[in-house]
Amino acid sequence: MVTLSEAKDLPSSLRKRKQSTVVITLQSLCMQAGRIPILFLIFTGLLPSQSAPQASKSAAAKEQVQAEQEPAATKLSVPIFRDIAAQAGLTASHISSADKHYVVESMSGGIGLFDCDNDGKLDIVTVNGSTVDRYRQGGGDPLVTLWHQDANLKFTDITQKAGLARKGWGMGVAVADFDNDGNLDLFVTGYGGNALYRNKGNCTFEDVTDRAGVRGGGFSTGAAWADYDRDGSVDLFVSRYVHVDMNDLPVPGSTKFCQFKGVPVQCGPWGMEGETDLLYHNRGDGTFEEVSKRAGVSDPDKYYGLGATWGDSDNDGWPDLFVADDATPNHLYRNNHDGTFTDNAMVGGIAMNSEGQALGSMGVTWGDYDHSGRLSMFITEFADQPNTLYRNEASRGFEDVAMQSRLGQVSFPLVGWGTAFFDMDNDGWLDLFVVNGHVYPQMDNVKGSAAYAEPMLLHRNLRNGTFEEVSKPAGLADMPLKSRRGAAFGDIANNGNVDVVVLNVGEPPSLLLNTNQSPNHRVLVHLLGTKSNRAAIGARVTIHTGAMTQFDEVRSGGSYLSQNDLRLHFGLGAAARIDLIEVRWPTGKIETFEDVAADKIYTIVEGQGIKDSVPFSNLSAR
Ligand SMILES: [Ca+2]
Ligand SMILES: [Ca+2]
Ligand SMILES: [Ca+2]
Ligand SMILES: [Ca+2]
C-alpha cells in the first residue's frame, strides 16, 4: 500500500523527467470522506508532455446543458478599460534584459496598490527586477518604484524621497501594518534577499529588514501576511522558487532541461534544485522568528514556490495558506489553530488538476464566484496547460472545473501570471482577469507556439458556473501584446469601479481604468482593527442584500507576487441599500451593521462602528 507520505517523493521524480506527466490514479477516485484508500503513482514519461487536456464525457455533456441554459451574455454591456498609465505619469520601466538567458531573468515582478499616506487615494508600487550584469557589478537595482497619487489620477515617482533605496533583484510585494501603528508597511521579495520597509507616515519608509530578521535569502518570490495565530500581529509567509548560483549560471540549451519545443532556452525550473519556504512569526516587538519547520509549512520537498495567498478555505475562522508551485504539486495548509498546519492539498484535490498533472502554477486568487458561501481557488498556469478553477465542495474537497467553467480552453496556449476575481460591472458576481506572457523570447520563432508577448483575458461571470471571455468588447484585445507578470486590483479613482495595474516585463506598467457605465450600486469597505491587526488582514465581510449574499476577505499578497487594494469592493446590482453587513474580525469577533446605504466608502473600526463614510467620486479619465 502506497501512503500519502510517499506522494511527497513526486518532485524529485519530476526533476528527473523533463515535464513528464505524472498520472496519479486514486482508487475509487479518491475524495470520498476525504480518505484515500490506495494511491498508485504511475510515471508516464512516454506520454506526450504537451498533450491537450480533454474534458471528460460527463463534463462535455454538462457543458452542453449549460450552453443551452446560458443567458444571451453578449447582449450585456461590458465595461471598457482604458490604459491611462502614460498620462497618469507611470513612465518608469521595469528592469529586465531582453534575452532571458536565465530563469532568474524571467520571473519578476509584482505590482501593488496601497495607500501609503492615508489620504484615501491608492498609491502604486512596482517591483523593479534587474539584470545579471547589474546584479554582479553593483548589487542590482533599487527593489521598487513608488508612485504617489496626487490628484485627478496623476502620479509622482517618490521612490527616493520615500527612502526605498535598498538594491537587489526584486520579485514580489505584499503590504500589511506589521507594527499596528496605522501606517501600511511594505515587504518586497527578491532573489538574494528580501526587504521590509516600515512606513513612518506620509509615504516615508525606514528599512528595518535586518532588525526585523526577515531578510531571508535564496530566490524568494511570493509573500503574504496573515495573523495565523490570531494574536493581533500579522505574520509573514514567503515562498521560494529554485536554487540559482549567480556565479555558476547554467548555460541555456546546455541540457535536455534547457530545451522547449526543440529550441535552446533558459534552464529551469525543471532539472534544478528547488528551495524551501519561510514563515516568520511576528513577536509583536518589531522582530520575527522563522518558524516554518515547527509550523509544518517549510516545504522540505523543495517544490518550486510562486504565488501565495491566505484564505479561510474551510470557514472555521482561521486563515489557511495556499501556495502555487510551478511544475510541482500545490500546497493547501489547513490551520490547526495551534500554530501548526496540515497540508491538505493532495487529499483535498487541489495539489494537481483532474488529470493528475502537477501544472506550472503561477498566480492565485480566492473567490466565492458561485455564491456557495465558500472560497474557490483560481490558478494561472504555464503554456499548453489550462488555467485551473478549483471549486470548493466543502468536506468533499476541491473539484477542478477548468473545462466546465470555460476558463481552461482559451487559456491553454498562454503562460498565465497575475489574476484576480473582481466584480468588473458591479452586478454582484465575480468576474476574472488574467495577464499573460511567455518566459521564452525564443518562442517568437517557433511555429505553433504562443509568442513571447501575449494578450490579456477577461472572463465575465455568467452566473451559472461558467464564464465568457470578453477582452474584445472590454477594449483589452486592442491593446499592445506584452509579456506581463504582476497584476493588482483596486478602486484607484474611488468611483466604485475596480481598476487594474499591470507589470509589463522591461516596460512601464499599465493602468487600466475601468470606465464601467452600468447603474449598478456598489460599496467599498475599509476595515481598521483595534484588537485585531490594524489593517484587518484576514477579516471577512459578508454582505446581504435582498437578492444575494456575498463575502470576501482582506488579503495581503496574492495574484502573481502582487498586492490588491485592502479595501473590499462589492457590486450590489439593483440594491441601493444593504440589509446587513457582517464583519468577522481576524480575532474572531463578529459585528453587524443593518440597513446601510450603497455607493459609499465606509471605514469601520473594530469595536467602534462605522467611523467614516465618503460618497464615490465622479472621477474618470478624460
Ligand atoms: Ca495615498
Ligand atoms: Ca506600520
Ligand atoms: Ca500572529
Ligand atoms: Ca460581475
Note the pLDDT of residue 619.
64
Which burial class, exposed, middle or buried, applies to 329 when counting CB atoms under 10 A from its CB (0-12, 13-18, 19+)?
buried
Residue 99: all three cell numbers together: 534575452
Please say whether the beta carbons of 353 and 400 come within 8 A.
Answer: yes
In this predicted structure, which of 38-52, 78-92, 189-203, 347-361 has the lowest mean pLDDT?
Answer: 38-52
Give the distance (Å) from ligand 1 centre to CA of residue 223.
Answer: 22
Q: Which ligand is nearest to the CA of 428?
A: 4
Secondary structure (DSSP) of 583-599: EE-TTS-EEEEEEEESS
Note the pLDDT of residue 35.
34
Q: E-assigned strands of 414-518?
A: 416-422, 431-436, 457-461, 467-469, 484-490, 499-504, 510-514
β-partners of residue 332 are 322
pLDDT band, residue 99 (cuts 50/70/90)? confident
Give the distance (Å) from ligand 4 centre to CA of residue 423.
Answer: 4
Give the distance (Å) from ligand 3 centre to CA of residue 256.
Answer: 45
Answer yes or no: is pLDDT of 19 > 90: no
- Mark the residues whose beta carbon lies below 5 A from ion ligand 4: 423, 425, 427, 429, 431
Give the distance (Å) from ligand 1 centre to CA of residue 170.
Answer: 23
Report the percentage of the chain scoring pLDDT > 70.
87
Note the pLDDT of residue 152.
84
Q: Which ligand is nearest to the CA of 113?
A: 1
Which has the closest alpha carbon to 67: 75, 77, 59, 56?
Answer: 59
Arithmetic mean of pLDDT over the chain: 90
Answer yes or no: is pLDDT of 38 > 50: no
Q: In what order do the strands lie in the sheet with 388-392?
A: 361-367, 376-381, 388-392, 398-400
Give the distance (Å) from ligand 1 centre to CA of residue 256.
Answer: 49
Give the distance (Å) from ligand 2 centre to CA of residue 439.
Answer: 35
Q: Which ligand is nearest to the CA of 587?
A: 3
CA distance 556 to 558: 7
Q: Which ligand is nearest to the CA of 150?
A: 1
Give the distance (Å) from ligand 1 centre to CA of residue 154.
Answer: 11
Give the distance (Å) from ligand 4 centre to CA of residue 546.
Answer: 17
Give the distance (Å) from ligand 2 centre to CA of residue 269.
Answer: 36
Give the distance (Å) from ligand 4 centre to CA of residue 464.
Answer: 12
Region 530-557: what's the mean pLDDT?
97
Q: Which ligand is nearest to the CA of 196?
A: 2
Residue 332: all three cell numbers together: 493547501
Region 173-191: what's the mean pLDDT?
98
Region 497-511: what's the mean pLDDT?
98
Note the pLDDT of residue 4.
33
Backbone angles phi, psi at 135, to 5 degrees: -70, -45
Give the distance (Å) from ligand 3 centre to CA of residue 295.
Answer: 12
Give the distance (Å) from ligand 1 centre to CA of residue 122.
Answer: 5
Give the distance (Å) from ligand 2 centre to CA of residue 333.
Answer: 27
Which burial class, exposed, middle or buried, applies to 606 when counting CB atoms under 10 A from its CB (0-12, 13-18, 19+)?
buried
Q: Burial code of 31-45, b = ≥16 C-beta within 10 A, e = fewer? A: beeeebeebeeebee
Q: Which ligand is nearest to the CA of 468?
A: 4
CA distance 606 to 603: 10
pLDDT band, residue 340 (cuts 50/70/90)? very high
Which has the closest alpha carbon to 402: 434, 440, 373, 450?
Answer: 434
Secondary structure (DSSP) of 165-229: --EEEEEEEEEE-TT-SSS-EEEEEEET--EEEEEEETTEEEE-HHHHT----SBEEEEEEE-TT
Note the pLDDT of residue 516.
96
Condensed to tens digits (0 to 9), the pLDDT of residues 571-589 reads 999 999 999 999 999 999 9
Give the distance (Å) from ligand 2 centre to CA of residue 198.
Answer: 6
Region 249-256: what's the mean pLDDT?
94
Note the pLDDT of residue 55.
39
Condensed to tens digits (0 to 9), the pLDDT of residues 419-471 reads 999 999 999 999 999 999 999 999 999 998 999 999 999 999 999 999 999 99
Give the distance (Å) from ligand 2 centre to CA of residue 534.
Answer: 9
Residue 61: all three cell numbers together: 455533456
Answer yes or no: is pLDDT of 33 > 60: no
Answer yes or no: is pLDDT of 503 > 80: yes
Note the pLDDT of residue 51.
36
In this predicted structure, which of 57-71, 242-256, 368-382 has the lowest mean pLDDT?
Answer: 57-71
Give the distance (Å) from ligand 3 centre to CA of residue 313.
Answer: 19
Note the pLDDT of residue 618.
81
Answer yes or no: is pLDDT of 31 > 90: no
Q: Which ligand is nearest to the CA of 200?
A: 2
Q: Which ligand is nearest to the CA of 155?
A: 1
Give the distance (Å) from ligand 4 centre to CA of residue 529.
Answer: 29
Give the distance (Å) from ligand 1 centre to CA of residue 484.
Answer: 25
Condensed to tens digits (0 to 9), the pLDDT of residues 286-301 reads 999 999 999 999 999 9
Give the distance (Å) from ligand 3 centre to CA of residue 178.
Answer: 10
Give the distance (Å) from ligand 1 centre to CA of residue 217.
Answer: 31
Q: In what order do the strands lie in the sheet with 577-584?
A: 549-553, 540-544, 577-584, 590-597
Q: Which ligand is nearest to the CA of 198?
A: 2
| Prediction pTM value | 0.89
Note the pLDDT of residue 58.
52
Which has the closest alpha carbon to 366: 412, 301, 315?
Answer: 315
Give the distance (Å) from ligand 1 centre to CA of residue 442.
Answer: 40
Give the distance (Å) from ligand 2 centre to CA of residue 558.
Answer: 20
Report the percentage of the chain scoring pLDDT > 90.
85
Answer yes or no: is pLDDT of 281 > 70: yes
Give the distance (Å) from ligand 1 centre to CA of residue 202.
Answer: 9
